Amino acid sequence: MSVTPSSPDYIIPKLKAETIASLVKRGTRLDGRGLHDIRQVEIIPNYLPKADGSALVKLGNTQVLVGVKLEVGTPYPDAPDQGVIIVSAEFVPMASPVFEPGPPDENAIELARVIDRSIRELGAIDLSKLVLIPGKKVWVVWIDIYVLDHDGNLVDASSIATLAALLTAKIPKAVISEEDEQIVVDKTTHVAQLPLLKKVVTVTVGKLGKALIVDPDLEEESVLDTKIIFAISEDGRIAGIQKSGPSSITKDEVLRATDVAIKKGQELIKIIEQAVEAAVKQAEAKEEKKVEEVKEEKEEALEAKESAVEEVTEGEEVEETSETIEAAEEEEEGKEEEVTEEREAEEPVKKLEEEVEEEPAKKEAAPAAREEREGQPTEAEREEKEEEAREAKGKEVEGEAGEKVGAEEAVGEEESSKEKKTGDEESLNSTQ
């Protein structure tokens, strides 16, 4: 079990305790605050981006982180038409030297119950609007409190962080199947703000001697006689009161503490509202800036696209010009081919027309040609005549050859006779 600073094990030097008590009697405090002054409050809403709602609160040196998560669950049997609230608190060991690992001790449980009662008793959340399927399925609102750094007054710091987280919480989108009543939750989409009817915070008032101090820090808590925790709404209503500590408190002191708590509670609620409103505006401005950046990027992309389209169009125009010229040339060639084909197609027609025109003349010349053909010899006759001509020519050649031979023989005989005559003359001469 962890040991909380309220146990006797957490002590401060006696001299310092006497100094704190002495200063309080004189109306001042060790850190310079007045008796009813609250330490500086710093609120960071939407601290956890994946939570349905969250806030980090710094109350002086005390730091508390609260996360809100909505899940589908079953309603309580005595409240079937209402949602469920579950608050838990954890004292992180690094928050204080006296915190130890382990399950929550009675102080962590007490802190969670105080926050739970302050929300539940005042009806801060409209639980009737958290019903999904009446009597069967409702939204369960988990409020998880983490103490990160403990320097006193954990209850007030936790209540401030809880209210800030609830103000930023949104309900996720849930799709209900009509057939089997199955529910599908889309955590990336939120459909509505968590329905808050009241804003409530706690204010801790401590008694030291006869003085009442607000928002005691860790050292002041260690020397207090007693303290009272008030749950206060924005309209000044008291949702609950819890006293702790061994010393008694008078009725007059309770009334005085109540007046101080109501005043300080309303001040704290205004501080929380302003912080959440500023955070919402900042988120909206950031979202608008993001939208503008996206718009500018789209415009730049569109301009780049248009520029690219223009370049492509210019290129296409050049290509179209070339294609137009080529198409014109092809068209011209096509026309020439068509003309050629037409001419070629017309030639048989003209030839046919000419033949048709020549047909009567041919018909007139046909009888004469026929008569002429009839007067001409047949093929056999022509061959016979050619054969006869060849034979006649052969005979003529032979005759010419014979005549030539005869002439040659006559010349030979004449020469022989001449030689003989010469021989006779020679012989006669010799005789003589």
Q: CATH no. for residue 245?
A: 3.30.230.70
Percent of the chain with pLDDT over 70: 74
Q: 369 or 352: which carries more pLDDT confidence?
A: 352
Question: Residue 421: which pLDDT band, with cuts at 50, 70 and 90?
Answer: low
- Collapsed DSSP state (helix, strand, coil) of residue 196: strand
How does pLDDT run across 76-98, given as a tens digit for each residue? 999 999 999 999 999 998 888 88
Percent of the chain with pLDDT over 90: 49
Q: How confident is the model at residue 302 (pLDDT cuts 50, 70, 90)?
A: confident
Residues listed for the chain: 432
Query: Does residue 262 form part of some domain?
Result: yes
**Residue range 185-202: average pLDDT?**
92
Residue 242 inside a domain? The answer is yes
pLDDT of res. 324: 67
In this predicted structure, the answer to whether residue 132 has a pLDDT above a threshold of 90 is yes
Alpha helices for 169-238 (secondary structure H): 218-221
Tell me the average pLDDT across 280-295.
85
CA 69/CA 196 separation, integer angstroms: 15
Average model confidence (pLDDT) for the chain?
Answer: 82
Q: Let me know if residue 152 belongs to a domain.
A: yes
Q: Computed over its alpha carbons, how large is the radius of gyration of the chain? A: 65
Q: Find where tokens 């021989």 sit.
A: 423
User: Where does residue 153 fall: left (phi above 0), alpha (psi -120 to 50 degrees), or beta otherwise?
Assistant: left
Exposed/middle/buried for 362, CB within 10 Å: 0-12, 13-18, 19+? exposed
Structural domain contains residue 409 = no
pLDDT at 126 over 80: yes
pLDDT at 117 over 90: yes
pLDDT of residue 320: 59
CA geometry: angle 410, 414, 415, nearest 5 deg: 120
CB atoms within 10 A of CB 158: 28
Domain range enclosing 136: 14-285
pLDDT above 80 for 388: no
Residue 114 lies in a domain: yes
| pLDDT, greater one: 307 or 361 | 307
Query: Which of the two residues, 299 and 335, has the higher pLDDT score?
Result: 299
Q: What number is the average pLDDT over the span 276-285?
A: 88
Q: Which of 177-181, 257-261, 401-405 has the highest mean pLDDT?
A: 257-261
Q: Which residue has the higher pLDDT, 383 or 129?
A: 129
Mean pLDDT of 254-276: 95
74 — pLDDT class (breaks 50, 70, 90): very high
Domain-located, residue 405: no
Select the more confidently predicted residue: 371 or 265. Answer: 265
| Lowest pLDDT segment from 72-76, 243-247, 255-259, 411-415 | 411-415
**Digit-coded pLDDT (tens) for 13-66:** 888 889 999 999 999 999 999 999 999 999 999 999 999 999 999 999 999 999
Q: What pLDDT shows up at residue 5? A: 42
pLDDT at residue 369 tops 50 = no
pLDDT tier at 153 (50, 70, 90 boundaries)? very high
- Domain assignment of residue 319, yes or no: no
Residue 350 has pLDDT above 70, yes or no: no
Structural domain total, the chain: 1
- Average pLDDT estimate for 362-388: 59
In a domain, 89, yes or no: yes
- Contact present, 190 and 67 (Cβ < 8 Å): no
